[in-house]
Copies of this chain bind each other. A is one copy, B any other.
């Protein structure tokens, strides 16, 4: 569970993304309470300050809400969640395709590579 966070991206953004994914794929359900700052900090092996920034960012993009004295909860708004799911997919696909185009890869090359990955699963 405790990632290595070796990437150049700030840890807090890596965590934001990880949590978004867990929410989007339903591992963390709507209405669930996230672990407390300290708990989460221990779980993933980072500083509580960092988790604080993660939760703040999640609140900013409206996938989570903090209730004073109670904790942080995945927002109950299902439509927002569906939208988030679409957004994440859209972003990833767009970024991926533009990446591929910038390297001059044709669509069939990409699809072929996909199949190789499928096969090796």
Contact = CB atoms under 8 A, between A and B. Distances in A.
B103 A88 contact: yes
A93 B107 contact: no
B9 A104 contact: no
Copies in the complex: 4
Taking chain A's interface residues, is the majority helix, strand, or loop, or is none over half, making it mixed? helix
**Most chain B CB atoms below 10 A, which of A68, A93, A114, A117:** A93
Contact of A103 (B85, B100, B114): B85
A53 to B, nearest CB: 10
Interface of A: 5, 8-11, 13, 21, 24-26, 68, 85, 88-90, 92-94, 96-97, 99-100, 102-105, 107, 109-110, 113-114, 117-118
